Amino acid sequence: MKDHSLIIGLESRLLNAWPSFDYQLYDGWVLRLANGYSKRANSATPFRPDVGLDDELIDYMVARFVEANVRPTFRLNGVEDPNAEELLKQRGFKEIEPTHVLTAPIGIDHAEIDPEVDLEPQVSKRWVREAAKSYGGDKADDETLMRIVARIRQKTAFATLSLDDRPVAWGLGVVERGYVGLYDIVVSPDLRGIGLGRRVVSSLMAWGYGQGAHTAYLQVREENEIARSLYEAFGFRIAYRYTHRVMPGRSSSE
């Protein structure tokens, strides 16, 4: 049985830790828009147990996405009425990118920050530029990433791991009400697979512990078995699963 209070509590922290530019509330659904940068900031998400959907509400929210030039996306975290997903399915919305939200307890064993990981309380243009470049693809937009992270109002730590003065891995920690969220963990493409991401994760968990957090949380795509194995080694376990239902595009490949 799903723990709706846990899901909504974590979803609230996620919403605060990864701000959008526009928020609209529709009968228990929060529609967020951020110029299309990341689905979690550009989707409609249920925030009330057993909240439903009907054709009129879907049409109205779809129009808001279209106005913003963002692909209509419903991010379903499991608190919604099951009929909501069925209706989206019937209307041709495709399921993509199932994702796990993981949590792990933090204790005294997580108290040590790696000496080669620099933690800054404020974002810098360099952090954004280098992290976005290492992400690549549709996340290479450093200008939009800067706008998002600059809007965070919770306590933050922007992590950079350097080897021989070369920045090689990055991450973001956000603390709110006993939880530390880990975001944007990324390693330079030519140095992946040698444990650098692990050092960033460990340091952000230690920082969170120092800020009073008892639990860490993060999101990882279901298909990303390498990252899931890394996080399992830190004691992370699945809290809940969410998926996306996106409006099909005009091309036959979508």
pLDDT tens for residues 112-166? 999 999 999 999 999 999 988 887 766 667 888 999 999 999 999 999 999 998 9
- Residue range 89-112: mean pLDDT, rounded: 94
193 versus 141: the higher-pLDDT residue is 193
Min mean pLDDT across 1-10, 32-41, 86-95, 139-148 is at 139-148
pLDDT tens for residues 196-215? 999 999 999 999 999 999 99
- CA pair distance 131, 85, nearest whole angstrom: 34
Where do the domains of the chain lie? 4-99+242-246, 107-213
Average pLDDT of the chain, as a whole number: 93
Residue 64 and residue 24 in contact, taking contact as beta carbons nearer than 8 Å: yes
Residue 29 and residue 60 in contact, taking contact as beta carbons nearer than 8 Å: no
- Residue range 209-229: mean pLDDT, rounded: 94
Residue 169 and residue 161 in contact, taking contact as beta carbons nearer than 8 Å: yes
Q: What is the pLDDT of residue 134?
A: 86
Question: Three-state SS across the chain?
Answer: CCCHHHHHHHHHHHHHHCCCCEEEEECCEEEEECCCCCHHHCCEEECCCCCCCCHHHHHHHHHHHHHCCCCCEEEECCCCCHHHHHHHHHCCCEEEEEEEEEEEECCHHHCCCCCCEEEECCCCHHHHHHHHHHHCHHHCCHHHHHHHHCCCCCEEEEEEEEECCEEEEEEEEEEECCEEEEEEEEECHHHCCCCHHHHHHHHHHHHHHHCCCCEEEEEEECCCHHHHHHHHHCCCEEEEEEEEEECCCCCCCC
The rounded Cα 45 to chain-centroid distance in angstroms is 13
Token pair 């330079």: residue: 188
| DSSP-assigned beta bridge partners for residue 244 | 75, 96
Beta-sheet pairing, 215-221 with 94-105: antiparallel
Q: Does 3.10.180.10 match the CATH number of domain 107-213?
A: no
Which pTM does this prediction carry? 0.92
pLDDT score of 108 more than 80: yes
pLDDT score of 252 more than 80: no
